[in-house]
Amino acid sequence: MKVAVFSTKAYDRKFLLAANSPIQHELVFFEPRLNRDTAILAAEFPAVCVFVHDQVDAPTLELLASRGTRLIVLRCAGFNNVDLQAAADLGITVVRVPAYSPYGVAEHAVGLILSLNRKIHRAYNRVREGNFSLDGLLGFNLHERTVGIVGTGKIGLILGQIMKGFGCNLLAYDVYRNPELEALGGKYVELPELFANSDIISLHCPLTSETHHLINTEAIKQIKPGVMLINTSRGALIDTQAVIEGLKSGKIGYLGVDVYEQESELFFEDLSGEIIQDDIFQRLTTFPNVLITGHQAFFTAEALYNIAETTFANITDVEQGRPCANEIRA
């Protein structure tokens, strides 16, 4: 199948070409993101492959459909950037990659926890400047601390396994209980109890209307003072302005995020020579107890290969008229 691949970087091309080698779909790579202005590039392509920040709204889908596109292939798990109802109305099939190396994301969350706790990012800069003072670098033992995991699918479960290895107690919240987490000793509770009793809260749930701004002013009132908040899932799970107020008051003691609700204008690009206009994001960067990474939790060799493999399996299923387990519908 002829596939227009948008939002491509050198690493995307490397892994997509490797996974496509035995299959031989016809790939054409485009660096720009897909949106209403760039949709013309996909004219006469039956399939369009997109990433998390591509704009797949109704007007873009209409433009794609009018020029022959019948398949949208997401090389990611999230699909909140796609108007699924518009796609259905236009007869466009949408498929995604629901899971890819969940170890990478869980391990990155642990990296944020360790770095924030032991101030590793600050110590690194101090030592480079010849400053070996320990003042301001005091951490705490993870052993016997309580970790609250919101969302206990594959990634949340793996985080629980890792933190159990540190000797942590596990609290959990999910619409569906995971018996594997319960077997680790994880205790399912309602969110207010998790907020009130967790020393560390890590978010691993999808972004839906119910989870949008899950961490808001009301939630922050319920959390244990000095909590460490980690988000490697979706940026809009957190009300950033409310979290800033929580940091200023000291209610939130540490914040580690790999995602940000307005990240589409920032992440995956080199903006080091520009003035960033997002004042809320810039305010976040001023806190010494905040650690931000640019949506790199998924970024391991294993994950990129898994994404590429599943992407082409999805395309082949649709091309050959087979049911695709990874199709998503309105």
Which are the catalytic amino acids? 234, 263, 295
Question: Six-digit token pair at 313?
Answer: 């399996």
What is the C-alpha separation between 322 and 288, in angstroms, rounded? 52
What angle (nearest 5°) sits at the alpha carbon of residue 112, between those of residues 107 and 116? 150
What is the C-alpha separation between 316 and 321, in angstroms, rounded? 8
Segment (H or E) for 218: helix 217-222
3-state secondary structure of 25: coil
- Give 189's contacts (C-beta < 8 A, 6+ positions apart): 171, 172, 173, 197
Angstrom CA distances, 276 to 213, 265, 281, 282, 302, stand at 24, 9, 9, 8, 32
| DSSP notation for 103-165 | HHHHHHHHHHHHHHHHTHHHHHHHHHTT----TT------TT-EEEEE--SHHHHHHHHHHHH
Question: Six-digit token pair at 238?
Answer: 């957190």
